[in-house]
Amino acid sequence: CGVYFYFSQLEGQIDDCECSVNTVDYFNNLKIYPRLNSLLLKDFFRFYRVNLERGCPFWPDFKRCTTEHCSVETCSEGQVPAGLSTEAKNGKESSAHKYLKEAQNEEDCDENHGGLGAVDRTLSEETKEEFEKWQKYDESQDNFCETEGESLTDVKYVDLHRNPERFTGYKGVSSHRVWKSIYQENCFKPDHEHGPFTTSKNLGELCLEKRAFFRAISGLHTSITVHLCATHYTPSKTGFGSGNWGLNVPEFLKRFSTDQTDGEGPDRLKNLYFVYLLELRALAKAALYIEAQSFYTGDDVEDAEVKSAVTELLSIIKSFPNHFKESVLFPGKDEETAKLKEEFRQHFINITRIMDCVGCDKCRLWGKLQTEGLGTALKILFSGKLDSDLKMPQLKKNSFHLTRKEIVALFNAFGRLSTSVYQLENFRKLIKS
Ligand SMILES: *[C@@H]1O[C@H](CO)[C@@H](O)[C@H](O)[C@H]1NC(C)=O
């Protein structure tokens, strides 16, 4: 009864949005999720360019090095590029040599339960050649991914399908610490609040923009947690075989049921819908810009397929009747509003940096991807450059720009949220029966 109650609490209006959970469930599970899922299998979306080696800027790094066999130094050596590297081209070290060294180090540093948390950096030779072409193409476009300060040497392509986001068995201190510092030091607090952090209980004391910030972050956290609960690893009882991946209901209830979360579970789940609507709106708002991309991978047939699939998906997204209204946030043109917006932006940038502090490789990869995707959504919503309904020729002259990396991150991040909403349905069925 208690459990049923909390799902029924989830029904109805999503806070600070004009739309209900049921509308989103229906729209996502039937229309968005299946299409998005097949789109994300395409090469354009499946290879993500990321720097996993930036290191944690805020506290000493314990990255994948909790075993005695592995000092931090050895591990950072293990981050040798798998290919595509400017260094390899300069012939400092053959890529075969690097591969071997990497494999070696990966083994030594394996704190992640049989390597479940390690990122699979394997790319075929063919793929590597393709990337060289992509990279040349990208560089000929005026992109500004260097503003992230990621040196080209450390920015590598990762095949997202070889590295699914799922429970890794990783129980390191770092993930806990990351979320704790996000909530304690990087979310806004009510002015008179001296407590450790904002929760759904004192949220009402914040202005709309600060509430939105908290909801988006909490929604992202919820989404990641739902994935880990939905793709949970249970080792086989006999010790043979590789065990099973599946829904873990007790784990889910621990994070989201009313009684085990001091009443916060349903709000956490609602925040997932909040951030979903935020990214949905960003996709709709940038649709014209995104549709005009070439989705270049060098394979004309596939590129054209991707373009038409993207266009179809975006037209469905545009048809959603209750889009999030970003114009209610930061409405004024005064100095106060500008200051708040800048504060919002700084807080968010800081959170993307904290993702570099996540210990397990895979969790860091997906954490970075999802924050970059959300950051891209915020850029679309609040840059002010897409506010008037520009048509194509003007839009091209406009200084608004998204890099391939940002587009890939946005679609994949939205894919994760879409999957979470879909997985909630599975939990709902299991828990109600
Ligand atoms: C960024 O995050 C770190 C770690 O939580 C925190 O110590 C620092 O105060 C934050 N900086 C800003 C500018 O918010």
Cα 74 from Cα 97, distance rounded (Å): 16
pLDDT digits (tens), the chain, 433 positions: 233 344 555 556 676 666 788 889 999 999 999 999 999 999 889 888 888 888 888 888 655 544 322 222 222 333 322 322 333 333 333 333 343 344 333 333 333 444 556 676 666 677 777 666 665 555 433 332 334 444 556 667 788 887 777 665 555 556 778 888 888 877 777 766 666 667 777 777 778 888 888 899 999 999 998 988 888 777 776 655 567 778 889 889 988 988 888 888 888 999 999 999 999 999 999 999 999 998 888 888 999 999 999 999 999 999 998 888 888 888 888 888 888 888 888 888 888 888 888 877 778 888 999 999 999 999 999 888 887 766 666 666 667 788 888 999 999 999 999 999 999 999 988 887 5
Per-residue pLDDT at 192: 62
Q: Which atom of ligand 1 is nearest to the CA of 184?
A: 5
CA atoms within 13 Å, Cβ hemisphere of 35: 18
Per-residue pLDDT at 322: 84
Residues enclosing ligand 1, CB less than 6 A? 58, 181, 185-186, 346-347, 350, 354
Nearest CA to ligand 1 atom 5: 181
Q: Which of the listed residues 58, 344, 352, 358 should we mutate to test ligand 1's pocket, taking the one with most ligand atoms within 8 A of CB? A: 58
Question: What pTM was estimated for this model as a whole?
Answer: 0.80
Please state the three-class secondary structure of the chain as a single string.
CHHHHHHHHHCCECCCCCCEHHHHHHHHHHHHHHHHHHHCCCHHHHEEEEECCCCCCCCCCCCCCCCCCCCHHHHHHCCCCCCCCHHHHCCCCCHHHHHHHHHHHHHHCCCCCCCCCCCCCCCCHHHHHHHHHHHHHHHHCCCCHHHHCCCHHHEEEEEHHHCCCCCCCCCCHHHHHHHHHHHHHCCCCCCCCCCCCCCCCCHHHCCHHHHHHHHHHHHHHHHHHHHHHHCEEECCCCCCCCCEEECCHHHHHHHHCCCCCCCCHHHHHHHHHHHHHHHHHHHHHCHHHHHCCCCCCCCHHHHHHHHHHHHHHHHHHHHCCCCCCHHHCCCCCCHHHHHHHHHHHHHHHHHHHHHHHCCCHHHHHHHHHHHHHHHHHHHHHHCCCCCCCCCHHHHHHCCCCCCHHHHHHHHHHHHHHHHHHHHHHHHHHHHHC
Q: Which of the listed residues 186, 355, 357 should we mutate to test ligand 1's pocket, taking the one with most ligand atoms within 8 A of CB? A: 186
Per-residue pLDDT at 93: 34
Cα 297 from Cα 136, distance rounded (Å): 11
